Structure 1
Amino acid sequence: MAAPARRLCHIAFHVPPGLPLARDLQHFFGFQPLAVREAAGWRQLALRSRDTVFLVNEGGGPGEPLYGLDPHHPVPGATNLCFDVADAGAAARELAALGCSVPVPPVNVRDAQGTATYAVVSSPAGNLSLTLVERTGFCGPFLPGFRPVSSAPGPGWVSHVDHLTLACKPSSSPKLMRWFHDCLGFHHLPLSPGEDPELGLEVAAGSGRGGLRLTALQVPTNNLVPTLVLAESLLGVTEGQDQVEQFLARNGGPGLQHVGLYTPNIMEATEGVAGAGGQLLTPPEAYYQQPGKEKQILAAGHKPSLLARQGVLLDGDRGKFLLQVFTKSLFAEDTFFLELIQRQGATGFGQGNIRALWQSVQEQAARGQEA
Structure 2
Amino acid sequence: MAAPARRLCHIAFHVPAGQPLARDLQRLFGFQPLAVREANGWRQLALRSGDAVFLVNQGAGPGEPLYGLNPHHAVPSATNLCFDVEDAGAASRALAARGCSLPVPAVSVQDAQGTATYAVVSSPAGNLSLTLLERAGYRGPFLPGFRPLTSAPGPGWVSHVDHLTLACNRGSSPTLSRWFEDCLGFRHLPLSPGEDPELGLEVAAESGCGGLRLTALQSPVGSAVPTLVLAESLPGATNKRDQVEQFLARHRGPGLQHVGLYTPNIMEATEQVARAKGQLLTPPKAYYQQPGKEEQILASGHKPSLLAQQGILLDGHAGKFLLQVFTKSLFAEDTFFLELIQRQGATGFGQGNIRALWQSVQEQAARGLED
User: 1:333: how far off?
Assistant: 0.0
User: For 2:48 and 2:363, how far apart are their aligned partners in 1?
Assistant: 40
What letter corresponds to residue 13 of structure 2 in structure 1? Answer: F
User: For 1:60 and 1:298, how far apart are their aligned partners in 2?
Assistant: 51
What letter corresponds to residue 46 of structure 2 in structure 1? Answer: A
User: 1:358: how far off?
Assistant: 4.5
User: For 1:272 and 1:194, how far apart are their aligned partners in 2?
Assistant: 40
Q: Is the 8 A contact 1:218 1:226 kept in 2?
A: yes
Relative to the length of structure 1, the TM-score reads 0.95
**Unmatched tracts of structure 2, length 5 or more:** 367-371
What letter corresponds to residue 63 of structure 1 in structure 2? Answer: G
Matches within 5 A, 1:178-217: 178-217=178-217
Percent of residue pairs bearing the same amino acid type: 84
Is 1:337 the counterpart of 2:314? The answer is no
Matches within 5 A, 1:1-371: 1-237=1-237, 240-358=240-358
Offset from partner CA, 1:176-232 (integer Å, 9 cap, x none): 000001110000011111111111111112452221111110113235100000011
**Structure 1 pair 7/183, CA: closer, same or farther in 2 (3 Å)?**
same
Q: Is the 8 A contact 1:208 1:237 kept in 2?
A: no
Count matched residues. 366
SS in 2 for 1:295: helix
SS in 2 for 1:285: coil
User: For 2:112 and 2:42, how far apart are their aligned partners in 1?
Assistant: 21
User: For 1:82 and 1:157, how far apart are their aligned partners in 2?
Assistant: 22
User: For 2:264 and 2:89, how far apart are their aligned partners in 1?
Assistant: 37
What letter corresponds to residue 132 of structure 2 in structure 1? Answer: L
Relative to the length of structure 2, the TM-score reads 0.95
**Structure 1 pair 285/236, CA: closer, same or farther in 2 (3 Å)?**
same
User: 1:62: how far off?
Assistant: 0.3
Task: Quote the RMSD (CA, aligned, Å).
Answer: 1.8
Q: Is the 8 A contact 1:168 1:255 kept in 2?
A: yes
User: For 2:343 and 2:223, how far apart are their aligned partners in 1?
Assistant: 15
What letter corresponds to residue 227 of structure 2 in structure 1? Answer: T
Instruction: Compare 235-244 and 3-12 and name the one that shifted more.
Output: 235-244
User: For 1:4 and 1:268, how far apart are their aligned partners in 2?
Assistant: 36
User: For 1:360 and 1:112, how far apart are their aligned partners in 2?
Assistant: 50
Counterpart residue number, 1:369: none
**Structure 1 pair 238/63, CA: closer, same or farther in 2 (3 Å)?**
closer
User: 1:119: how far off?
Assistant: 0.6
What letter corresponds to residue 50 of structure 1 in structure 2? Answer: G
User: For 1:356 and 1:339, how far apart are their aligned partners in 2?
Assistant: 14
User: For 1:169 and 1:364, how far apart are their aligned partners in 2?
Assistant: 22
User: For 1:237 and 1:175, how far apart are their aligned partners in 2?
Assistant: 21
User: For 2:124 and 2:148, how far apart are their aligned partners in 1?
Assistant: 34
Counterpart residue number, 2:369: none
User: For 1:257 and 1:236, how far apart are their aligned partners in 2?
Assistant: 21
User: For 1:13 and 1:332, how far apart are their aligned partners in 2?
Assistant: 15
User: 1:361: how far off?
Assistant: 8.1
User: 1:360: how far off?
Assistant: 7.5
Instruction: Compare 191-200 and 143-152 and name the one that shifted more.
Output: 191-200
SS in 2 for 1:178: helix
User: For 1:153 and 1:365, how far apart are their aligned partners in 2?
Assistant: 37
User: 1:362: how far off?
Assistant: 7.8
**Structure 1 pair 45/364, CA: closer, same or farther in 2 (3 Å)?**
closer
Q: Is the 8 A contact 1:239 1:362 kept in 2?
A: no
Q: Is the 8 A contact 1:141 1:148 kept in 2?
A: yes
**Unmatched tracts of structure 1, length 5 or more:** 367-371
User: 1:277: how far off?
Assistant: 1.5
User: 1:345: how far off?
Assistant: 1.1
User: For 1:263 and 1:330, how far apart are their aligned partners in 2?
Assistant: 19
Q: Is the 8 A contact 2:106 2:119 kept in 1?
A: yes
